[in-house]
Each structure stands twice: as structure tokens, then as C-alpha cells.
Amino acid sequence: MNGVILIDKDMDWTSHDVVAKLRGVTRIKKIGHTGTLDPMATGALPICIGKATKIVEYLQADDKVYIADMVFGSKTDTYDSSGEIVATSSKRISEEELRSILPLFTGDIKQLPPMFSAIKVSGVKLYELARKGIEIERELRDVNISKLDLIEFNEKEQTCRIYVHCSSGTYIRSLINDIGEKLSSYANMTSLRRIKCGDFEIENALTLEQLSTKELVLANLIPIDEALKSFQRIDIPHSEYTRITNGMTIILKEGFNSYNTDINSLFYCRGEFIGIGTIFDKSEIGCKAKIKKLLL
């Protein structure tokens, strides 16, 4: 069993909980998730099974899209409503004020990760320190928010819902905390739903309840190459099958001008998907090709 299964994660489940559940259902140990989704959050979580665990790094790097709810007036230690309130503000935020500052959080920005996060410092996860009441200095991270829209705003309740399209590694809780501080107030996240992860849409996701047997998991498994369908496809000549699958560099001559170099590509040979590789050193007569991850 090799491929990707798209899970609609329930609230209060950790990403590791989902992996453990699927290991129990499939009796397969080699299963991994593609990036931590907070227990409070719900939504799209691609899970890699078998040889597909070799592509976790590629799926982790994909952009994400979220719908998040937030409330103004209080800050918590976790930056969301599951935490302890550490500061409050009586300032009332208007929709006009909120809309005016949202553009400041789009594009390439720097973000401070929350203490309650799975980031490791000297081998220790930050949330393990936070639970002990320890706060340490964290480095700012470069993230990109390509789209940040206000979906709705309730001025009476001081709540709002936002749409966020962002790069991997972006913390929506930190974004919301920063928005509150920019408005000289406080804010925390009250709900989060991931609706897209790379090419994976929430409409195609299944709950764990819908995957109660190994047969159901297998029936809904997405092939490895389909999970990476945005990658360039390269067809290797049949005669080079042995060399390319043994990790040797080969020379491509036919059709090489149509390929982009130095990017991750899907390699096919003899009518089957064989792995991920790159082509490089393009010249007038051809280019080199080498496999990086054999996925036969």
C-alpha cells in the first residue's frame, strides 16, 4: 500500500493521533503526516503511506489556505481560545480599522512563532517549555501571505472571520496576535479550518470514520505521482531504465529542449512512474538526468 490519503482532521485530534489511527486500521507502520495541524484546527491533512513517506518533504513545502475565526479584546498564552488569558483591552475595533491594516500582513513578512508550537530549539519542542512556564527568545521567520481577506466582521461581538493563503510554516495564531497588536489591542484565534493544502482540496477529504477498514483506505489512496501532479513530467527512454533506476546519470537528447532544468520532476520509464529526479547541464545536444528518490 503506497500513496497519499487526504484526511479531514477532526478538532482535538493531533496530526500524530491521525497517523496512529491509520496505522491501526491498515497495520502499516510506515505512515507519516505532512506537517503539524494544531489539535484545535480541522481540515485538510495529507497522510503519506508506505513509499509515499519519501515525498513528505515536498508536500510539506506546499502553500496552505485557511479560514480562521478570531475575537478582539484578549490575548492568550497560546494565541488561541484554548489558552489562558494573559492580557485584555477595552478598545473597540471598527471594520474600517481592521481593513486598513490587513495589507500590512500580505506579501513577504517576518513572523514570531508562538511558544506553544512544535518547533524544536536545541532538540526540545517549544510547547514542552511553554507548559513548564518557560518562555525563550525565538527567531523571526520569513513567511509569505499571498492573500488575506476579511470574510465577515461583527462589530458588536468584536469577532471576525478571515481567509488566508500562505506559505508553509506560517502560524495563523501568530498572524492573528500580530493583527491585534497592530490595532493597539489584542486578539486570539477561536477556530481554524484548513481548506487547501497544495493541490489537495478539502472537498475531496475523508474523515477517519469513513476510513474504518484497510480496504476503504486502499480504495481512496491517491497514487504518489498524482499527489505531485504539479511537478514536471519527464519520460526516460526505455533503453536507459537500468541505468536511471540504479542512480546513474544519463543523457537525454530527444525532446530535452521542452524541459525545465534544476527542478523536481516526475520520471517515467517503460510506462511506469519510477521516481523523482532532476535534469541539468542543458546544452545544444542534450541534458543530463539523475534520479533523486526511487519510488518503484
Catalytic residues: 38
The CA-atom distances, in angstroms, between 230 and each of 168, 283, 294 are: 17, 25, 18
Q: Which residue has the cell 491533512?
A: 45
